Amino acid sequence: MTTYSPDFTPRYKARYRAAGIEHTTQIRGPRDDSLFVLLGRGAHLYDMFNNLAPRLADDFSWISAEYAMNDTELRRPLWSERCHWPILRYHSA
């Protein structure tokens, strides 16, 4: 299998808190996916976690989300619980 550089594909990264610990999950899309397609994948991620929320730790909550398009390590924030500038935000159930 071919090894690609970390910035070869677009990435969507979300941070959440569960059981008192901060965790990170990342989704990669095919090269040259648009931002809107990548955000749609992020929405599916949130839906999946939010549907599982009753089975997750009692303190489960989203912390932040960011994205980076292909060929760059520049990550752009989508929202954060600390900085109230939501562009796209999903709340846990």
Helices (H) and strands (E) in the chain, counts: 1, 4
Q: Within 10 Å of residue 80's Cβ, how many Cβ atoms?
A: 16
Q: What is the pTM of this model?
A: 0.77
Domain residue spans of the chain = 11-80
- The SS3 of residue 48 is helix
d(CA 60, CA 56): 7
pLDDT in tens, 18-66: 999 999 999 988 888 898 898 888 889 888 988 988 898 999 888 999 9
